Amino acid sequence: MNTVETDVLILGAGPAGSATALMLQQRNPAIKITVVDHADHQGIALGETLPPQIKALMEAIGLWEQFQAEGHLPAYRTQSVWGNDAPIENEFLFQTSAKGWRIEKRRFNRFLTEAAASRGVGLMLGATTHFLGKEAGAFQFQIESKAQETLWLQARFVVDATGRAAWFASKMGTNKVRFDNLVGTWRVYEDSTPASDGHTLVEAVENGWWYSTRLPDQKMALAYMTDSDLLEKSSLETETWDGQLDQTKYTRSRVADHGSAENAMVVPAATQCLDTLCGEGWIAVGDAACTFDPLSSQGVFKAIKSGIFGAYAVSDYLSGNQGALTRHEWMLRDAFETYLETRAKFYQQEQRWPAAEFWQRRFEWITLSPDTPLIATKAAPQKISKTRYVISEPEEAFILSLCQTYKPAHTILEEFKHSPLRYKKPRNLILGLQYLLGENRLST
């Protein structure tokens, strides 16, 4: 059986994995890099919108000229029906206006992986990976290639870029912390309108929001975003889908005359973050580390950015800089904490259905007074689960240890500022305290 030795194994050839490979190769061409993905990027995938700032990242990995030649559709504007019945021509929801792009995701992934391969990165697509453990400082894998050949692979360093599955990080014992249960139901329609008419539209409804965007090849993708527990069981059936679409004012008119839709599918879209983003000899990048609400149109941008900075961290770490991985973790945490604040602001702008569960969950009002004394209850520890909500295990443990006697909420905030968990933004920490009160882990 063949044995492959590599310095860095990147698991996942999505935007984050490819960006890590491209930047690492650029920064240190002597490092041997192998990328393995269990998918093969064939066929088409759903469309996504990239913000204007993607240009700087594509330049950093040396692909800006080629990206422009790929023929992705320009996206000059996003329209939103959000907080108001009338559509507003606006920026990319989370930022200022300029030209962005609407990409077909799988084609974009192929573009990045082919660029990495052409620069000498080893690439195995359609391959199944089994983690065998760590021996003599190297991670050991058994890999079955697409051609069903089995080989052993040894890596000094592993980058988890497996998307929201965070496959390798979960093998390393990490937990996911979730902030909602958002899912998207998608359908793709034939679209005969001129390409210039293909702005992205976001339209809020009582139990969620709709997203519609043009794809290349005369197609239009529609997504209905809601929480998994609010999604009707029959949501994939055409009748239910059409009934939900009828609740929209503008989205339905975009596909009123369009040809048959491809079958609907459901994709997870929850905001989540790992409680540990790096360890001895590994890091997580992109969605494997943390995911952003699709409302932000920031997922791919953030994935590529974290891949680029992840590559710096790996390169520095392999050159003997032990602090490089922790710095990577802090950078990701800081970006995620800021994102959580921005996300709350956008959802708070929609007040037309104040009693609807979907919106109530996202208003995230602060109700806890700074002087409220809090104490840990004797509630049984949470069920052991790979998924936690709102607050990570180390954060909860720290709060509960502080609250063995009554502590005012503002003292807890102060203690966090001087702790290893000081990345936590005050607002997000207060929401965590409110969550623990709701779960009866704390009481007043």
Ligand X SMILES: Cc1cc2nc3c(=O)[nH]c(=O)nc-3n(C[C@H](O)[C@H](O)[C@H](O)COP(=O)(O)OP(=O)(O)OC[C@H]3O[C@@H](n4cnc5c(N)ncnc54)[C@H](O)[C@@H]3O)c2cc1C
Contact 49, 100 (CB under 8 A): yes
Task: Please give the residues from 113 up to 132 whose contact with ligand X meets the rule CB under 6 A.
Answer: 129
CA distances from 326 to 71, 127, 293, 402 (A): 39, 30, 25, 25
Radius of gyration of the chain (CA): 23
Q: Taking CB under 6 A as the rule, does residue 163 contact ligand X?
A: yes
- Give the DSSP per-residue string, 378-400: -PPPPPP-SEEESS-HHHHHHHH
Report the candidate in 171, 174, 151 with the shortest Cα–Cα distance to residue 36: 151
HSE at residue 311, side-chain half, CA atoms within 13 A, is 24
Q: Which stretch binds ligand X (CB under 6 A): 46-54, 228-236, 258-266, 366-374?
A: 46-54
- Shortest gap between Cβ of 72 and ligand X (angstroms)? 12
Q: Taking CB under 6 A as the rule, does residue 36 contact ligand X?
A: yes
- Shortest gap between Cβ of 184 and ligand X (angstroms)? 4
CA distance 257 to 193: 10
CA distance 406 to 399: 11
Query: Hey, what are 375's tokens?
Result: 């104490």
Task: Please give the residues from 214 up to 243 whose contact with ligand X meets the rule CB under 6 A.
Answer: 223
- Shortest gap between Cβ of 376 and ligand X (angstroms)? 36
The owner of tokens 């936690």 is 388
Q: Taking CB under 6 A as the rule, does residue 208 contact ligand X?
A: no
Contact 436, 372 (CB under 8 A): no
Angle, helices 324-348/426-438, rounded to nearest 10 degrees:
70
**Pick 11 or 121: Cβ nearer ligand X:** 11
Q: Which of 165, 230, 266, 335 binds ligand X (CB under 6 A)?
A: 165
Q: Which residues contact 210 (CB under 8 A, 6 or more apart)?
A: 201, 202, 203, 222, 223, 224, 225, 245, 248, 251
Task: Please give the residues from 172 up to 191 whose contact with ligand X meets the rule CB under 6 A.
Answer: 184
Q: Which of 269, 278, 313, 325 binds ligand X (CB under 6 A)?
A: 269
Q: Taking CB under 6 A as the rule, does residue 16 contact ligand X?
A: yes
Q: Which stretch binds ligand X (CB under 6 A): 1-9, 26-34, 160-168, 322-330?
A: 160-168
Angle, helices 426-438/393-402, rounded to nearest 10 degrees:
80
Helix (H, G, I), strand (E, B) or coil at 21: helix
- Shortest gap between Cβ of 327 and ligand X (angstroms)? 20
Q: Taking CB under 6 A as the rule, does residue 272 contact ligand X?
A: no
- Shortest gap between Cβ of 138 and ligand X (angstroms)? 18
Q: Taking CB under 6 A as the rule, does residue 151 contact ligand X?
A: no
Q: Taking CB under 6 A as the rule, does residue 12 contact ligand X?
A: yes
Q: Taking CB under 6 A as the rule, does residue 266 contact ligand X?
A: no
Q: Taking CB under 6 A as the rule, does residue 255 contact ligand X?
A: no
Task: Please give the residues from 286 up to 325 whose contact with ligand X meets the rule CB under 6 A.
Answer: 286-288, 294, 297-301, 303
The interface mask with ligand X, positions 348-387, x = CB under 6 A, is ----------------------------------------
Q: Taking CB under 6 A as the rule, does residue 100 contact ligand X?
A: no
CA distance 31 to 24: 8
The site for ligand X (CB under 6 A) is made up of 11-17, 36-39, 48-50, 129, 161-163, 165, 167, 184, 223, 267, 269, 286-288, 294, 297-301, 303
